[in-house]
Amino acid sequence: MNSPPLVSVVTPSFNQAQYIEETLRSVELQEYRPIHQIVIDGGSTDGTVELLRNWEKRDHGAGYTFEWVSEKDRGHADALNKGFDRVRGEVVGWLNSDDVYFDQEAVSSSVAAFEAHPDVDAVFGDVALISENSGLQMILCYPEFRYKRAVRGYMVSQPTVFLRRTVTDTYRLDPSLRVAIDFIYWLDVGKEHKFLKIPRIQAGDRDQPGRITRVSYAALMETAKKARMVYGAKAKESWAERLQDLMTLRLLRVTALLRLLPLLAQKERLNRLAFPLWTDSALKTLTRQLTMRVNDRTDLGPRPSPPPAAFGATE
């Protein structure tokens, strides 16, 4: 019987001490083994380094290995490239230091997808948009990857992605970029490699004040627009493409609602989460989901202390 493949998870980090422990914990809590976690820190001064030192000293059990480095780099893309240099696994995850894997089966689901589809080189799933303090804002669902659709701007959810090592050995991120680095990377990889959508929530994407989509939104959109033209986007989509995109978006909204309802009912997967997710009232959550709007991004209110037990990560 063949041994399960090693999975390496690369986490770039810089001054996100308030989030990174949940990130690390969400990897450690994965039911899958063996896992090799790599943190590439850019020289943080906010307590991240001390946290990483303490994490390294802990007993994480068999099958989980951890390594980290903290030194100046040229930014997010450069840190990821350094992490890819240290990868030993056959499968590679990219999990930023403010994001989390959603439940304890995220890695095993991805490995199973690779084993069932040997022609696939990248897998991804749906994502929970979570607040700065891990409150559930809404569920975001993504369409199957089609290159022409990706060029029109339809991304995959970065924290949910796992790649075969053959991809990360061949393709590196552009260290000159400060925004849209994942979008451009998917366009680069997607020209020659097949992506597969896993129909489940795979990660939590943290909507925190320092994220690029908040602080550099205009630059991100402009960079992505230029990249789309370079990779073959049309100046104007056809009516058929616009209709297809509209229908796809409507279907994804329904799918996201169906993913959300079992969570609100506290009947599905809640004792298998990989981080302490919490939620406010069902009415507020449904309103956000149906309108796809987070208002002023503080409408969840303060985090319960402690979070509701049903939404907490198990030990």
Three-state SS for 263? helix
Asked if residue 26 belongs to a domain, the reply is: yes
How far CA 223 is from CA of 13, 14, 142, 216, in Å, comes to 23, 23, 21, 11
CB 304 within 8 A of CB 278: yes
Three-state SS for 162? strand
Tokens 């009912």 -> residue: 265
Asked if residue 178 belongs to a domain, the reply is: yes
280-293: b or e for each residue (b if 16 or more CB lie within 10 Å)? beeeebeebbeeee
Asked if residue 53 belongs to a domain, the reply is: yes
Total structural domains within the chain: 1
CB 126 within 8 A of CB 139: yes
- pLDDT (tens place) for every residue of the chain, 315 residues total: 689 999 999 999 999 999 999 999 999 999 999 999 999 999 999 999 999 999 999 999 999 999 999 999 989 999 999 999 999 999 999 999 999 999 999 999 999 999 999 999 999 999 999 999 999 999 999 999 998 888 888 889 999 999 999 999 999 999 987 788 899 999 999 999 999 999 999 999 999 887 777 777 788 788 888 888 888 878 788 888 889 889 999 999 999 999 999 888 875 566 689 999 998 888 999 999 999 887 656 578 777 776 654 454 444
Copy the structure tokens of residue 34. 């063996």
Domain enclosing residue 157, as ranges: 7-311
CB proximity list for 230: less than 8 A, separation 6 or greater: none
User: What amino acid is encoded at 284 in this protein?
Assistant: K
Asked if residue 60 belongs to a domain, the reply is: yes
Between CA 136 and CA 134 the distance in angstroms is 6
- Bridge partners for 101 per DSSP: 203
Instruction: Determine how many CB atoms are found less than 10 A away from the CB of residue 275.
Output: 25
Asked if residue 288 belongs to a domain, the reply is: yes
Between CA 132 and CA 35 the distance in angstroms is 27
Between CA 265 and CA 282 the distance in angstroms is 9
Asked if residue 132 belongs to a domain, the reply is: yes
Does the predicted TM-score (pTM) go above 0.85? yes
Between CA 100 and CA 194 the distance in angstroms is 25
Asked if residue 2 belongs to a domain, the reply is: no
CATH number at residue 12: 3.90.550.10
Asked if residue 1 belongs to a domain, the reply is: no
